[in-house]
Structure 1
Amino acid sequence: MDEQDYLDFLMEVFEAIADSNGDSKKVVYQLLQANLDKLDNNFAQFLQTWATAKFSEVTTEEAKSIANTIWDFSYYLHEFPLGKKANNMEIRIAGYEAVLKVFTRESHQENWAAIQNNLGNAYLYRIRGDIAQNIEDAIAAYHLALEVRTKQDFPINWAMTQNNLAIAYSDRIRGDIAQNLEDAIAAYHLALEVRTKQDFPINWATTQNNLATAYLYRIRGDIAQNIEDAIAADHLALEVYTKQDFPMDWAMTQNNLALAYSKRIRGDIAQNIEDAIAAYLLALEVRTKQDFPMDWAMTQNNLAIAYRNRIRGDIAQNIEDAIAAYHLALEVYTKQDFPINWAMTQYNLAIAYSDRISSNGVQNLENIIKTYQSENLELAIAAYQNASEIYTREAFPEDWAEIQHNISKP
């Protein structure tokens, strides 16, 4: 692909946005779909180089017009489902960084702040580069945006950026993990000062759901209370996230609520596990294998853990249900496509096989021992060995050691 090909494509994009009559997103998506071969990393570099040179050649008004078009194009790439996501993200970043040469803080502070917020989003979900540094870049961009997007002057945008900043702190790798979560929780609470249920119900529910996750993994404070706060926030989110109106968000929150019930310290432990199982099963009403295979597999894995820990019901059946759910998860979590998830599920499956009690006509202790040794122990060892293909001594020394210990048990 040479520069002329990229330039011709870029001019087509400009024309599509200019002639779209208010429906530019649909028009641009059709154009992008027909030119997926041009959405590569080289185009990201070309876009930034071309824009920088072009801005110096044209009038101020022309530069603003070009910058606005690049801004629209970069924004549309955020939700474009085709092509390589990593390439699309690099093009977005290149576009936003180019536009900042025109929309400076001094000349267009509102636009500058909006682009900083968008740039933060792009860095937060960037695939290439160092993940830890990408998150740092996202946090820096959000903080820059908040220098202009104050609660007093731009309350809605301020709240949106606070929510985004909180997500970045939740994902942060560098710094003190406990403090990062505190910063995330603080930013979510700030966002909720504007994002009220009455005025912005969907945004309110989104932030409540995010806050619940932060509380669930909070390190500081009373652990039991943190989990209660997580459960409370999930229930608040579900007041807006109904199955009928927001099925995907409803299912996600049900899965998160189930995780919180699984970890719950207060209340009746047996009932907490029942509540977790019920919420996982609700999530699976929407998270089907056909429509959402990754989410389906994750929830199946979580459900299996809940069945394995279940107190009520028949113990043998609970373990059978756990094994069945692990096997379902492995239909998506293949070694080739998701090696870490595959290894994790194999490891969990091995534990379930180790705990298995056969209820298929085994009547006495001798037969139980024989069945356990001849079938379930072999299945457990096989699953442990599968997991150890990914959990190697070099990459995951602690997991490897635990697997070796479990395999060596008599």
Structure 2
Amino acid sequence: RLNEAVVAMRATLEKRPREKVPLDWAASQNNLGLALYALSEREAAGEHLTQAEVAYRLALEEYTREKAPVEWAMVENNLGNTLVSLGIQLNDKAKINEAADALRAALEVRTRETFPVSWATSRLNLGNALSGVARFDMGTGALEEAAAAYDDALTVFTRQRFPMDWASAQNNLGSIYQTLGQRTSDAAKLEQSAAAFRAARQVYVRRKFPQDWAMSHYNLGNTLQLLGGVTDKPEHYGEAIAAYRDALREYKRETNPRQWALAQAGLGSTLHWLSMSDANPKTLQDSIAARRAALEVLTIDAAPIDWANAQNGVGMSLLNLGNLERTDKYLGDAEAAFTATLKVFTRESLPMQWAFAQNNLGDVSWNRASYGGGKVEYQKAIGFFENAKQGFTEAGYTMPIPLTDQKIDLVKKQMAKK
């Protein structure tokens, strides 16, 4: 039906040309953009979003702020939403920054006093854009601004009057606090994240909204996994595992392959961290199995970042399993997994992730040296750790550098004794 709507909108544009009815033509361009945007959510095709962007920009040639301020603000809002989705899909920082600018422009007309619901909608959308900006900015400024935008939206979108918008804002706020908590190792922010996801579940009940219910459990699992690491309380890992398994009650490989794979990856990650406290090889084996299951869907072509993260996770669990069982038999597979991530985690595009991959490869060489690999493996380990330091510096993420320096010193001391 959406394809039919797009065809109908284009037919309307031919029948009602810009020269004769410019404002009607602009309205049709806006409607075409909306239909293309909706189609992109169904078919996940980048060209639909690109075409939607073109349609909105054409509409803005007639819907100027001076001639039609309300319509101008509406189209700026719609353009902002499209640019957020397009920027995330293309990993394009400039598009997402343009999205934030478009939404801020819309808010110049959509004030709380005159258009409270439209104001709240654009504040919610601005929060989404700023969340996208934060993907490229390792600081907290964009995240804090996004949290403020969602909080603003919640002053209008109450649970009683707008339950679905309220739940959406709670879910998005949970994601923002999750990232803030992760970047600052702030347990309080992670608790706020968990509270927001649990709030969203008050609306996203399984019987009525099974997919949203599963999403909220998946998101909660991610937060609880992080909370376990920040607080060093293994019980949070147990809660996270339960949340992921709840999500997997609805996320099936046949019907929701991507969501299923991401939940498997999250489950695998949490089992990995749980193994740090229970020291049980079975926990690590389950972790590896879950992540390898995820990799059956998260291919490098379909989902390069998720694929690389899952490969990294497999490598980490294999490395730890070898340490737990006091054997070097897993080192080759761990090295292969870490090396695979470098197809995606390049120094130029993702220096921080590249640095972590270098660090992990250094750990493999260090382990191999400990099992009799000799001076060559020690030297390789030092080289990888030095690379990691450079990558962390280039990414502006200096927190791991002191630990990396300690590793280099230890490797040099061990090598000197050989």
Deviates more, 1:174-183 or 1:158-167: 174-183
- 8 A Cα contact 1:384 1:407, kept in partner: no
Q: Displacement of 1:236 after TM fit? A: 0.7
Q: What does 1:183-202 correspond to in 2, within 5 Å?
A: 183-202=192-211
Structure 1 counterpart of 2:295, from 284, 289, 294? 284
Instruction: Tell me, yes or no, if structure 1 residue 302 matches structure 2 residue 313.
Output: yes
Unaligned runs of 5+ in 2: 1-22, 40-47
Distance 2:49 2:388 in 1: 45
Instruction: Tell me, yes or no, if structure 1 residue 315 matches structure 2 residue 327.
Output: yes
**CA deviation map 1:309-359 (0-9, x unaligned):** 11688933212211221222223323333322222222211221222289x
Distance 1:15 1:84 in 2: 30
**CA deviation map 1:205-234 (0-9, x unaligned):** 111111111111116878121110000000
- 8 A Cα contact 1:13 1:31, kept in partner: no
Unaligned runs of 5+ in 1: 1-10, 39-46, 359-367
Please tell me the residue identity of whatever aligns with 1:80. Answer: L
Q: Displacement of 1:375 after TM fit? A: 4.4
| Structure that is richer in helix per residue | 2
- Alignment match, 2:69: 63
Q: What does 1:6-405 correspond to in 2, within 5 Å?
A: 14=26, 17-18=29-30, 20=32, 23-25=35-37, 29-30=50-51, 32=53, 54-55=64-65, 57-58=66-67, 62-80=68-86, 85-126=92-133, 131-172=139-180, 177-218=186-227, 223-264=233-274, 269-310=280-321, 315-356=327-368, 369=372, 372-373=373-374, 375-391=376-392, 395=398, 397-405=401-409
Task: Sort the Cα spacing of 1:328 and 1:89 in 2 relative to 1 into closer, same or farther, 3 A.
Answer: closer
Task: Sort the Cα spacing of 1:315 and 1:84 in 2 relative to 1 into closer, same or farther, 3 A.
Answer: closer
Task: Sort the Cα spacing of 1:385 and 1:24 in 2 relative to 1 into closer, same or farther, 3 A.
Answer: closer
RMSD value, Cα: 3.6
Q: Displacement of 1:34 after TM fit? A: 11
**CA deviation map 1:102-130 (0-9, x unaligned):** 33323322222111111111122225778
Structure whose CA Rg is larger: 1
Task: Sort the Cα spacing of 1:144 and 1:232 in 2 relative to 1 into closer, same or farther, 3 A.
Answer: same
3-state SS in 1 of match to 2:109 = coil
Distance 2:73 2:54 in 1: 23
Task: Sort the Cα spacing of 1:222 and 1:386 in 2 relative to 1 into closer, same or farther, 3 A.
Answer: closer
- Alignment match, 2:10: none
Task: Sort the Cα spacing of 1:115 and 1:324 in 2 relative to 1 into closer, same or farther, 3 A.
Answer: same
TM-score, normalised relative to structure 1: 0.80
Distance 1:240 1:273 in 2: 25
- 8 A Cα contact 2:34 2:78, kept in partner: no
Q: Displacement of 1:155 after TM fit? A: 1.1
Distance 1:222 1:290 in 2: 36
**Matched residues, number:** 374
